[in-house]
Structure 1
Amino acid sequence: MSVIGWWKNTTIGTRFDIGRRAVFIGDDEWGNKFYEEKKPSQEGRKRRYVIYNGAAEPSRISPDWHGWMHHTFDKPPTEEPLVKKSFELQHQPNLTGTLLAYKPKGSLWRSDERTKTAGDYEAWDPDA
């Protein structure tokens, strides 16, 4: 928790405000905590909040909690878990900008060379 720096963690003010007007609903496998307001807003539905465990990275919310956060599902995954299909892969957060990001061959971040293909560009040589 910090006084400033919402992009790294939750501020004291945010925790106080959510604690005052929202109810804890549950948490996910990454330790994110989910809340819902006690009273509906003017639009007639309750706002929903997440306090991230660590940096504020929205892709670290699993599909079932994402659906609940965006009012796709009325009940949270703690009450009505999302049915997982046999062909679905495990959810992965977006790794762009991290050390674990995908780096293809030929990238500036890799030392090995990309394999040449038939469609590769061959520069024009005026002396040839």
Structure 2
Amino acid sequence: MADESLPPWNPYDPDCPTRMMLDRIGDKWTVLVLGLLSAGPLRFNALRRQVPGISQKMLSQTLKDMERDGLVDRSAFATVPVTVEYTITPLGQSLAATVAQLVTWATRHADQVLAARARYQSR
């Protein structure tokens, strides 16, 4: 039975806007940045240090996409050089709570997934 309180979006329709959000949620960089920002505001370089493997360009693009989608706010402060800080929005916080469950699942089941991959490869 469908939840009557949900809008009539259909994520299986290729033109449905929910597809954009599923792409955002499915992006590993978004998940990691969202998790860090849920603990409090961070500057760009602090984020980059805490997410090993992300390039400056990818972090910049991820943050721009998240800002465009209303998940983070960007604040620039008039210092030399300019200081930029990112803060999670209430919308982003609601997503972070859901995404944290996925991160927990991945952490708990990584050994099982690796074992399954090894079995698959050995066939």
Same fold (TM over 0.5): no
Which structure has the larger Rg over C-alpha atoms?
1
Higher helix share: 2
TM bracket (short chain):
under 0.3
